[in-house]
Amino acid sequence: MTLSPETPRKLIHTRKVECRGYAREDGLWDIEGTLLDAKTYPFENAWRGLVEVGDPVHEMTIRLTIDDRLNIIEAEAFTRNSPYEICPSASWGFKQLKGLRIKGGWMNQVKERYGGAKGCTHLLEMLYPVGTTAYQTVFAFREQKLRQSGISESEALRRKGPPPNSCYAFADESPIMNRIKASAAK
């Protein structure tokens, strides 16, 4: 299944979010996210002057250094381009995320520390895909290492337990969960 056919249209705005997960030599993990917003038309900005077609309106990067349990050891952010002179200053408050753990509901804690006027909405928004990238990096890599060491999929499932009921594929009675449960029961 694909999307419905497009109505004639014109591209106005592009937002790119890219996330990367790195295994560090010291046993920790770096999870980075970059956000880039650009327009298809030039516009005047009170702080920056003329912003040309394709020039970043927003260009920001965040890095969370985490441990194997997804505890945030360090948090930093950098704003290279923004529409207002004050925006890069919001990066300093990002350090307040240190000590949090990426897990279900963690964004509520993030919003208490960095939400609203305490931080930058774009940096905050990046934490959603960065959190998912942390899971995909740490847990998938750990599972790969188990497989490489010769541990079977069913044994790996027994060790870690079933995935949480966190999406359509992991609903309690989905075909995926039934297969995982059957494999873990062997």
Phi, psi of 78 (to 5 degrees): -145, 130
What was the pLDDT predicted at 153?
Answer: 65
Digit-by-digit pLDDT tens for the chain (186 residues) are 899 999 999 999 999 999 999 999 999 999 999 999 999 999 999 999 999 999 999 999 999 999 999 999 999 999 999 999 999 999 999 999 999 999 989 999 999 999 999 999 999 999 999 999 999 999 888 888 877 888 776 676 666 666 666 778 778 888 877 887 777 776
Q: Which residue has the tokens 């000590």?
A: 99
What was the pLDDT predicted at 141?
Answer: 86
How do the domains of the chain map onto residue ranges? 13-150, 152-186
Residue 48 contacts residue 88 (beta carbons within 8 Å): no
The bridge status of strand 43-45 relative to strand 56-66 is unpaired
Look up the pTM and report it. Answer: 0.86
